[in-house]
Amino acid sequence: MTNITKIFLVLNSGSSSEKFSLYEGEDEVCSLYFEGIEKNGKKEFICTITRADGSEEKLDKKWDSLSEAFKEAKDIFEKEGFINEAHPLDGILVRTPAAGKYFTKHHIVDQETFDELEKAKLTYPLHVPGAIRGLKNAQEAFPNIPVIAMSDSESLTRKSRKDNIYALPKEIIDEYELARYGAHGSSYGFIIDKVKELGILEKKMVVCHLGSGCSITGFIDGEPAYTSMGETPLEGLMSSTRAGSVDPAIGAILGEKLGADEAIKLMIKDSGLLALAGSSDMREIIARTEEDDENAAIAYNMFVDGVAGKIGEYAAKMGGIDAIVFTATIGERSFPVRNSIISKLEFMGFKIKNDAVIDKSKGYANIAEDDSKPIYVIPTNEAAYMIKKASELLDNEE
């Protein structure tokens, strides 16, 4: 039986930030957030500590690099009393990009992990360096603790998938291990587990993960059939700063003009809602749309059309949809977005309540009208899913 009281440190490595979340079982007991700030032309890193009661404190000390900050994180957790000889860490979890067959599974990190990450730099030039840094820093700071590379596609790369192959020459597919691996796997894994636990699993369900990054996955009998992201998270829906699917020739042209890394960066960080409306914050875009801001309205309508269109696509491919689930920041919190999407799907038998009240303490809410197919809002918990899978992996190693 999996020990749910294991203590894990979950890392989220960005290009200029590092977040350390300490969990006891599925409960987050403390987090550290290191972020870079510019001061007199020099970058320094500051740390904010957040405790279980929600209180925050900015630490006085500053660091010259994230590597130095990482080493200090261990001392901070020990000083706070969360890690000691009686309560040692069981593992350190680092989310890794879903690039290549190796990363369709979770792995205790060894040299092969780093070799595979080097290969993955071709398609993930922005994400892989942060993952490598996080993994190496974890090994150095906690030399006797298992470091686990958590796949972002494990729950999606199943035999049930019907859309994982690209129509490209086989030799190219094989050489670069190209496939529509998908992403947000930890979120989808958690949601489907929760749906089964709650007893609300329908034969054909669509889960909409709408946050700063957006994707949709269609499930048949609780197994993934279709997902919107591909070899990388760029494919599929437009999101806060990602372009979503564009004519491949545009990517090729940008790559030739700007270089591959800069072209990918532009489509990941400088596109999407930000490019259309000048803001990546859906709340601001909605407010500006209500004030008749034309650019905000264009961005909002494109976002809604993209989600509704993908749901309609999956309805055609799966022969109908029995239930829809909204999750992640926008999916969980934005009634206007959910309402706009569902209003386009009434022909499929979905109607949303205008006065739906979501009680998160129940773990979910059905926001559909009485004569509608179910429409659920379920808060996601990606860390909980990663902790569950890491516990299983470590238990199998014993």
The DSSP output letter for 85 is S
Alpha helices in 58-181, H assignment, sequence order:
66-80, 111-120, 128-141, 170-176
- Residue 221 CB contacts under 8 Å (≥ 6 apart), including other chains: 203
Instruction: Describe the crossing of helices 294-318 and 335-343 by its angle, rounded to 10 degrees.
Output: 50
- Residue 139 CB contacts under 8 Å (≥ 6 apart), including other chains: 109, 147
CA 89 vs CA 96, 147, 159, 168, 350: distances in Å? 20, 10, 34, 45, 46
**Measured torsion, CA atoms of residues 306, 311, 316, 322, in degrees rounded to the nearest 10:** -170
**Token pair of 46, please?**
């500051």
Read out DSSP for 264-283? HHHHHHS-HHHHHHS---HH
Angstrom distance (rounded) from CA 171 to CA 178: 10
**Token pair of 377, please?**
């809002």
Angstrom distance (rounded) from CA 141 to CA 73: 9
Angstrom distance (rounded) from CA 189 to CA 108: 20
123-152 burial string, b = 16+ CB within 10 Å, else e?
bbbbbbebbbbbbebbbebbeebbbbbbbb
Sheet (strand 27-39) strand order:
56-58, 42-51, 27-39, 17-24, 7-13, 91-96, 147-151, 107-108
Q: Hey, which residues are catalytic here?
A: 152
> 146, 113, 197: which is closest to 7 by C-alpha?
146
Each as own residue / partner, the long-range contacts of residues 256-263 (CB below 8 Å, 24 or more positions apart, any chain) are 260/125, 261/125, 261/126
263 SS3 class: helix
